[in-house]
Amino acid sequence: MSTLVSVEVEYMFPSTQFSQADLQTICFSSFPERVNSDTIEDSAFYFKFRHSSPEVPCGPTEDDPCYWYGYCLFRQQRDTSVKRNYRQKSLVLISQHDFVPLFAHLVKTISTLDFSVSPTLIESACSNIAAWAGPEVGLQELPFLGSLLDVHIPPHPSFPLQGRVTASPSRTDIRIEYKEIHTSEPLGSWARLAQLLTSISELYIIFERVLLSEPLVVLADDPRTCSEFVSAAIDLIRPIPFGGDCRPYLTMQSDFFLNGHEGIPFRHYLIGITNPFFLKRVLSQGKDSTIPHVVYLAGPEVKRKPHNFYSSNTERELSNNFITNDMKGSLTKDLVFLRKLEHYLKDSETTPQEIGRFVRRHFALLSALFLAPLNRYLATLTTVSPNSKMIDIANFSEDDFLASLSKYGCQVQFKGKTSFHRYRAAETFYRKFCRSPSFFRWLQMKIRLQMADGDSGCGSPTSGFMEKIENRLQ
């Protein structure tokens, strides 16, 4: 194993006036902190950072304008002429848009066409991208290096297109390669990621943590694995947006700790790391109420225990210490689902795509069942006018909602020995959710989608609560 000590920019196109801090962040985030010298495979991953380059012009975006995204492909070749016997390079695409599948595909395409990634090819690729129109909801046909990309953009990153998907037109020109891309799709494959978990039942703990925006750290052997797992974990709770600070890959040089004064990073975050010393640093920053749950993703060299559906805690050796997670969640685990998933993971005839659909469908249904009581209560706040039908979210009351929950119940199965204990567990969990950033992000998304649907009377019933939401999220 070797450790990164210095990085330099070979070339940049187009030439951009990044601040020195941003340039350093991009450089260090574009290389793995730990590199396995026994492999020469490419490693594709992405990262997110708070930028500080006011001179760089940016267009309108639905994402947080304070953050940029880096889509990276790391490559190393054996070269005995250099000190470490390996020459390492990274191709990085920086964007203000969180379109992970799209930009990951672009970087991979460039590196496939030219192994050394020449400046001429980069210039051609950037020229193609510069000619694209601004992002719009729906289907966009984007030409890129001789191929045509059918890119589907949802009305919100956490909200599926749901019937708004425009079918790609049938084409007969065999000289052009066509590629269909959905920008909201997660990276990675659950067929690979689930195998790395200590226990696949941990998926439910991860679901709960992400749903409540509670601190979660993913510790993996490489940036690809941790960034893919973060992307897949966010996807588990859709259509609920994650309300905390999400960083798919962080290094020791990141700005994560510098933003602690804002309150969000150390109370609500989901981060991916590869450095055990970084984990100690994160743990030292948290208080008892904000101790993160750590997801340990084992590499192939780590001897793993068989999957245990009933484990109450999980631990893995880390620098001669054991860090123990509390695995006592609130939701009842679906043992039928877990057994089927265990079977699919062992079955060579089950494709990764089938496993991915199976996992995503299960948690999508769980998210829908969880939201059902909230949607039922919000329906009682609907204001109907001749030109619009708008939910009066400004009159939302947590106590009234919990009274509705007590009256009608929910289909999500919570733990408890008696019906009273199960109800109390559900009430506590929903109360936590109603006070979490994810809840306010979800309401914010509903408001914006209602506005986008052309409700002319939407200003009055939402304006007051929109201010509450913005204040709560700051």
Tell me the C-alpha distance between 132 and 205, whole Å: 41
**pLDDT reported for residue 317:** 45
Taking the alpha carbons of 353, 358, 360, 361 in that order, is the dihedral positive or negative? positive
Q: What angle is formed at CA 152 by the lines to CA 238 and CA 71, rounded to 5 degrees? A: 80
Q: Which residues contact 20 (CB under 8 A, 6 or more apart)?
A: none
Q: Is the pTM of this model over 0.75?
A: yes
Please report the pLDDT score of residue 387 as a whole number. Answer: 67
pLDDT in the model for residue 310: 43
φ and ψ of 99, to 5 deg: -110, 75
> CB of 187 within 8 A of CB of 228?
yes
Q: Mean pLDDT of successive 10-residue segments in the chain (474 residues)?
A: 56 88 91 73 91 85 87 84 76 94 93 77 92 91 92 85 53 67 91 94 96 94 95 95 94 71 65 90 71 80 46 44 66 96 95 96 96 94 72 86 94 93 95 95 86 52 49 50
Please give the single-letter amino acid code of residue 73.
Answer: L
pLDDT at 288: 58
Best CA proximity match to 453, nearest among 185, 46, 119, 155 = 155
**Cα–Cα distance for residue pair 75/224, rounded to 1 Å:** 12
Cα separation, 84 vs 291, in Å, equals 39
Q: Is the dihedral of CA 153, 155, 157, 162 positive or negative?
A: negative
Give strand ranges (E) for 234-298.
245-250, 269-273, 293-296
H helices within 154-296, ranges in order? 190-193, 202-211, 223-236, 276-285
Q: What is the pLDDT of residues 8-67, one digit of tens each?
A: 788 888 888 899 999 999 999 998 987 766 666 788 999 999 999 988 888 777 778 889
- In this prediction, residue 287 carries a pLDDT of 64
Residues in Cβ contact with 256 at an 8 Å cutoff, skipping those fewer than 6 apart? 245, 247, 250, 265, 271
Looking at residue 388, its amino acid is S
The helix (H) or strand (E) run that includes residue 352 is helix 352-379
